[in-house]
Amino acid sequence: MKDIDRLLKAKIPCPETGIEVKHTICDICSPTCHCGVDAYVKDGKIIKVEGTREHPLNQGVLCTKGAANRDYIYREDRIKTPLRRVGARGEGRFEPISWDEAYTEIGARLNAAKETYGPNSVAFFSGFSKWYRPIFKRFAYSFGSTNYATESSVCFESTVIAWKATAGMFSVPDVEHTKVFLGWALNPHYSDHLTAFNVLQYKEHGGKVIIVDPRKTPAVDKYADIHLQLRPGTDGALALGMAKLIIENGWQDQEFIDKHTYGYEEYAEYVKQFDLDRVAGITGLSPDDIYEATKLFATAHPAAVHQSASPVTHHHNGFQNYRALISLCALTGNYDCPGGVFPMPPTYTIQCAGFPTREHEFADEVKPTHGTPLIGAGRFPVWDAFMDEFQAMDLTRTLEEGTPYPVKALFGLGINARMFPETGRFLKALGSLDFFVAADLFLTDTCKYADIVLPSCSSFERGEYKVYPGGFSLFTKPVITPLYESKSDVDMLCELARHMNLGDPLLEAGYKACVNDIIRDLSVTVESLEQSDFPVMTPEARPPMFGAYREHGFPTPTGKFEFKCSVIEKFPKEWGVSAIPTWTDPLEDEEPYPFTLTSGARLPNAIHSRAHDVPTLRSLRPDPLADIHPDDAAAAGVSQGDMVELYNAHGSIRMKANLTTRVRPGNIHIYHGYREANANDLIGAAHLDPCTGFPGFKSAGCHMRRCEEEKA
């Protein structure tokens, strides 16, 4: 008996303990990770999690969030059953109902809105996670609405749009073979922990690293040969200044420019105004540091640029900032070549695995043709030109004004109000809806505004199709039965499609039939993938073919890398969008404030607001903190741990001061998503990039004062 007790205490899987190890994935953070997980299961309950050593992506490593999966799954606020609202919106009073009752009411209310106001009066929105999105988009289209949007309205698509406008396709750095790695907003230890291993290995082999970041991050400590700690939102000016230095010193790759680029002359003429002193004044950097970083990047071939999914684009000038920095790749000939940056077509749900699927055809084949404009159409011209979903940052205004037509119903999976600037204003706007249905794992503050709430399950409780870099495919299996009455999002959608008689045979056939349709050109099927607990190599996968686009042309209208975007070039002048990357002040639409507020930089224990209510993770940083430079704190009479108020014309929040030299003087950094100190209460709903609609999360103005009555 004592031996069994020891085995149980050590959680040893064996017949004596009844503990089994089952394999799944973690989906708490971005799908660029979704690491393999070993779930130790006893009596149908998870008792321990570890990383899967056999998984080709994480090879047994888990981040802080992944290690907390057990606590995440068994949170006390899991939604246990479908719910119907019986109180006022936001009050959080619900009554439990059956799935059949929920489906019946959802179908009746959505169809009523469609019949009375038209199909686009119903909007569909996907937050985290991304795995079900092809099914959800097809569901919206089969229903008859083209008003489909995702949280990529503030995230990953910001980079994709800039790449499409410049090179025609999203592109990635070839770190393994480069000589100089320009890490623009590189912070892998907190935002993409698996990338950290690649960069560390690169450094160990003598690689040089330049990091551009307003903060001193762990990446700066561990990798940076040069750190350019610039003012937030001045990335574009820095990139244009670097371009001027490259051209005037003859460091450009003129052969690549002449053969493979469009609009160089106009671009080269524009950058002449960004002399070293002007750029130093804009960015707050030393002229010597700018020169040395530029020389290192431009003269050591090959060189690669890393660009994070949002920090460079989360500014009022973000689209042009991003285009300016990726133009450096073509200027130096470091595009579509080994050790540079190369095009990488997406495979499935933004992952690049080296083989094609029919993800987009799957939804588009049932896309309605009624021609009703999307929410926000015409407000953000670059978004309209490159995206086929509505820009969710216009949803608040649409709900408030009812123009160009009223939106009467909203169907949200994982919808999070805290991703919206002026969050309170967005929540208030939800009151104009006739009907709002939300699905989530937890009864979030957003769910409390819904009429019907549906309980979703976690990645441990469902099967899911995934792809990974290197050519891998995976179809997971549930490791535990869905808790309570929860369901996977795709099962909800397919069951609801049958209940509503949408007339879509694939949706009605279920998730696995949909996936088999999406991967029908591949040698693998759902059934064959289910035979393995681990990702398997997909026979159709191919490694990157460097030089293919140089030889055959780029997927742009000109067939070239476009310093001057030929799509934007055709825009009417009154739209005010420059076809070449230009510089504007990130705060030009804001009144003057003494501090620049930056929100959203990653923490190792958090991902947006998803983990704030996980006790073990919250214990690592229990209080919302404002990172303030000691000089700024001293001027305001603020000491470590004091409660401070950050405020501007949009709102105010209170949090504890964290004095640190890791931020620049004049710059305050805070993490977002806390209900008690929501950063987005300070971001104006109109503080958006006028080209794309992406919010200025990383540069907004604010005041700071010490709260006299609240000492730490």
Q: What is the pLDDT of residues 375-417, one digit of tens each?
A: 999 999 999 999 999 999 999 999 999 999 999 999 999 999 9
CATH classification of the domain holding 268: 3.40.228.10
Q: At what angle do helices 511-518 and 489-499 cross, to 10 degrees?
A: 100
Partners of residue 669 on adjacent β-strands: 598, 627
234: which residues sit within 8 A by CB, 6+ positions away? Answer: 282, 283, 284, 586
pLDDT for 712 equals: 45
For 30-85, write each residue's pLDDT tens digit.
Answer: 777 899 999 999 999 999 999 999 999 999 999 999 999 999 999 999 999 999 99
Would you place residue 603 in the very low, low, confident or very high pLDDT band (cuts 50, 70, 90)? confident
Q: Which domain holds residue 58?
A: 2-73
Would you place residue 601 in the very low, low, confident or very high pLDDT band (cuts 50, 70, 90)? confident
Span of 138-142, 306-310, 546-550, 562-566 with lowest mean pLDDT: 306-310
Bond preceding residue 302 cis, omega within 30 of 0: yes
- For residues 259 and 327, state if they share a domain: yes
Distance from the Cα of residue 198 to its chain's centroid: 21
Going by the DSSP 8-state scheme, the letter that residue 304 receives in this structure is E
pLDDT for 1 equals: 56
Q: What is the mean pLDDT of the chain?
A: 95
Q: Looking at 308-432, which runs of residues are DSSP E strands?
A: 341-343, 409-413
Going by the DSSP 8-state scheme, the letter that residue 648 receives in this structure is -
56: which residues sit within 8 A by CB, 6+ positions away? Answer: 468, 470, 472, 534, 535
178 three-class SS: coil
Distance CA 607, CA 151 (A): 13
CATH classification of the domain holding 53: 3.30.200.210
CB neighbours of residue 175 within 10 Å: 18
- For residues 198 and 150, state if they share a domain: no
Q: Which of 274, 310, 297, 335 lies closest to 211, judged by CA?
A: 297
Would you place residue 359 in the very low, low, confident or very high pLDDT band (cuts 50, 70, 90)? very high
- The sign one gets for the Cα dihedral 525, 531, 533, 536 is negative
- For residues 337 and 361, state if they share a domain: no
Distance from the Cα of residue 462 to its chain's centroid: 23
| Domain count along the chain | 4
Which residue type is seen at 661? T
Distance CA 473, CA 466 (A): 6
Determine how β-strand 261-262 pairs with β-strand 226-228: unpaired
pLDDT for 709 equals: 66
- For residues 67 and 89, state if they share a domain: no
Is the residue at 644 inside a domain? yes
Would you place residue 431 in the very low, low, confident or very high pLDDT band (cuts 50, 70, 90)? very high
Structure tokens at 341: 């940056």
pLDDT for 284 equals: 98
For 606-639, write each residue's pLDDT tens digit.
Answer: 888 888 999 999 999 999 999 999 999 999 999 9
Distance CA 674, CA 677 (A): 5
- For residues 368 and 303, state if they share a domain: no
Q: Which of 73, 102, 123 is the last residue of a domain?
A: 73
* CB contact at 8 A, 401 and 429: no
CATH classification of the domain holding 623: 2.40.40.20
* Statement: residue 542 has pLDDT above 90: yes
For 196-218, write each residue's pLDDT tens digit.
Answer: 888 888 998 899 999 999 999 99
pLDDT for 710 equals: 55
* CB contact at 8 A, 676 and 209: no
For 216-232, write each residue's pLDDT tens digit.
Answer: 999 999 999 999 999 99
Q: Which of 343, 365, 397 is the last residue of a domain?
A: 343
CA angle (428 as vertex; 317, 395 as ends), nearest 5 = 40
Q: Which of 73, 108, 131 is the last residue of a domain?
A: 73
Would you place residue 235 in the very low, low, confident or very high pLDDT band (cuts 50, 70, 90)? very high
